């Protein structure tokens, strides 16, 4: 099973020639990343409806029937904040399984899991999880979550990467510093192939841009109203 990081919380997940896209971002609100256009997928997953995660317009679906999907996908609703959704509502964690490989995209999880949810997510082969954010779990809580669930491979996402991503996000080092240095592996690629016998690791993938046919030409800047609303915490992309 191949996982490719396309920036922020967006990934493609490919197995047996079938591709999922999860959480495509709108680059008008997620600064520094190229705008998605025509990203090809057989199925689209969205963790929650905010600008950094629900840019459906950037994805072109193949139209393949659901019966051809090799994945078993289990969504789990979790809180997007620490106060039972009062501030930001809920979002979805997606458990994705195929041929004995179990991975999960944790969305913008903002609160501890229930015992039942933790049981379903225990001992994953790979977990894509926020590196730390004021709109999701902070880095030290993400570390505790991975220690609880014991995934074989942790793939950080949704962080400030150089000049890419919202400035209020933490840098990936705020998460990786909690682990033993020999556990952290920095890749020179944006892809990783997940197998059942991989060595445990924190896999920091490297953003390498988008395929040429998936980048939109420069368009209009966001309206004055949208630029103002993006600076107000309640309306900010999450």
Give the pLDDT score at 75.
97
Tokens of 225: 């109203």
Please name every residue paired with 165 in a beta bridge, in sequence order, or none if there are none. none
Phi and psi (nearest 5°) for 36? -75, 140
Contacts of 53-60 spanning 24+ positions with Cβ under 8 A: 53/9, 53/23, 53/24, 53/25, 53/91, 53/107, 53/108, 53/238, 54/23, 54/24, 54/26, 55/24, 55/25, 55/26, 56/24, 58/24, 58/26, 58/214, 58/216, 59/21, 59/24
Going by the DSSP 8-state scheme, the letter that residue 58 receives in this structure is G
The pLDDT tens digits for 5-42 are 999 999 999 999 999 999 999 998 888 999 888 999 99
CATH code of 2-229, in short, is 3.60.15.10
Mean pLDDT of 50-74: 94
**According to the per-residue pLDDT averaged within each range, which of 44-53, 79-88, 98-107 is highest?**
98-107
Closest CA to 161 of 119, 207, 116: 207
Residue 199, classified by CB atoms within 10 Å of its CB into exposed (0-12), middle (13-18) or buried (19+), is exposed
**H/E element, 237:** none
The pLDDT tens digits for 108-158 are 998 889 999 999 999 999 999 999 877 778 899 999 999 999 999 999 999
Confidence of residue 222 (pLDDT cuts 50, 70, 90): very low
In the chain, where the domains are located: 2-229
Going by the DSSP 8-state scheme, the letter that residue 141 receives in this structure is H
The larger pLDDT score, comparing residue 61 to residue 87, is at: 61
Torsional sign, CA 203, 41, 44, 36: positive
Res 232 pLDDT > 70: no
Give the pLDDT score at 234.
40
Distant-in-sequence, close-in-space partners of 40: CB < 8 Å, separation ≥ 6? 19, 59, 60, 62, 214
Give the pLDDT score at 167.
80
Furthest-apart CA pair in the chain: how many Å? Answer: 51
Give the pLDDT score at 94.
98
Q: What is the mean pLDDT of the chain?
A: 87
Res 230 pLDDT > 80: no
Give the pTM.
0.87
């Amino acid at each position: 099973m191949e996982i490719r990081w396309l920036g922020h919380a967006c990934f493609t997940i490919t197995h047996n020639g079938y591709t999922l896209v999860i959480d495509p971002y709108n680059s008008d609100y997620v600064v520094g990343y190229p705008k998605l256009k025509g990203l090809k997928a057989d199925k689209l997953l969205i963790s929650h409806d905010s600008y950094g995660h629900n840019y459906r317009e950037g994805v072109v679906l193949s139209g393949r029937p659901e019966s051809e999907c090799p994945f078993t996908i289990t969504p789990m609703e979790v809180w997007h904040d620490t106060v039972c959704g009062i501030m930001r509502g809920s979002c979805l964690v997606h458990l994705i399984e195929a041929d004995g490989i179990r991975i999960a995209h944790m969305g913008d999880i903002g609160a501890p899991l229930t015992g039942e949810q933790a049981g379903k997510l225990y001992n994953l082969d790979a977990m894509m999880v926020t590196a730390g954010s004021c709109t999701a779990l902070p880095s030290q809580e993400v570390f505790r979550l991975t220690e609880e669930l014991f995934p074989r491979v942790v793939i950080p996402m949704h962080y400030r990467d150089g000049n890419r991503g919202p400035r209020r996000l933490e840098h990936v080092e705020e998460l990786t510093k909690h682990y033993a240095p020999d556990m952290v592996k920095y890749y020179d690629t944006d892809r990783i192939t997940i197998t059942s016998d991989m060595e445990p690791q924190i896999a920091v993938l490297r953003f390498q841009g988008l395929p040429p046919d998936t980048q939109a030409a420069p368009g209009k800047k966001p309206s004055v109203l949208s630029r103002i609303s993006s600076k107000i915490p309640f309306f900010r992309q999450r």
